[in-house]
A and B are shown apart, each in its own frame.
Chain A
Amino acid sequence: AQSVTQLDSQVPVFEEAPVELRCNYSSSVSVYLFWYVQYPNQGLQLLLKYLSGSTLVKGINGFEAEFNKSQTSFHLRKPSVHISDTAEYFCAVSDRGNFNKFYFGSGTKLNVKP
């Protein structure tokens, strides 16, 4: 089975500063990796996904993530955050045999301060 670890439960950052949200996974098989964002009282919205190919993945709202197989990581980055990026971010993993079965991390709350 897979597991996902998001080490930082909360990340405070000032507006226009860069941010990195960390995600590490554990799996015995090849995985697919995802980042979702959840705004208060809403469902999850896909930011980006890694299925195969280039290890640097670009997503919506200026976010990007890099898949590192040797370190089993998929960290999310944004060079300059906005107040509107304040939300909770979830890293998720699935595998080829169970593509639609996601294992989610515990989430990281990003708090962007003015």
Chain B
Amino acid sequence: KAGVTQTPRYLIKTRGQQVTLSCSPISGHRSVSWYQQTPGQGLQFLFEYFSETQRNKGNFPGRFSGRQFSNSRSEMNVSTLELGDSALYLCATSIDIGNTIYFGEGSWLTVV
């Protein structure tokens, strides 16, 4: 059974640019959450999508956005990149509430 797939795995962007990260969940999983992991702030919840609707969100500025498609694949977008956005972005998926959550290997974003 295929796991959670995140693309791209590594990318380098320049300040002011925007970036889009993709997450393909395990087949049958309809909930997709995103987390940012940095050495200073640790793991922080960005948002969760379920059936194409944002069901929950964390405390991040509006530059961080996401969406979910009808096939449950999700994308997150960060606009006007700042140096502090350099992080590992993790996607986590599950069937629904109460089910085990599986994490992808993440997308490493470096902003220069």
Binding site for B on A (CB under 8 A): 36, 41-46, 49, 51, 90, 92, 98-107
Contacts and interface: CB of A to CB of B under 8 A. Distances in A.
B101 interface: yes
B106 interface: yes
Contact of A100 (B44, B90, B97, B105): B97
Contact of B45 (A41, A44, A51, A103): A103
B4 A43 contact: yes
Nearest to A6: B42
- Secondary structure at the A interface, as helix, strand, loop or mixed, is strand
Interface residues of B, number: 24
A105 B55 CA distance: 23
A100 B4 contact: no
Interface string B71-101: 0000000000000000000101010011011
Given A43-B90, A90-B43, A101 B48 contact: yes
A110 to B, nearest CB: 17
Given A43-B90, A107-B42, A100 B48 contact: yes
B25 interface: no
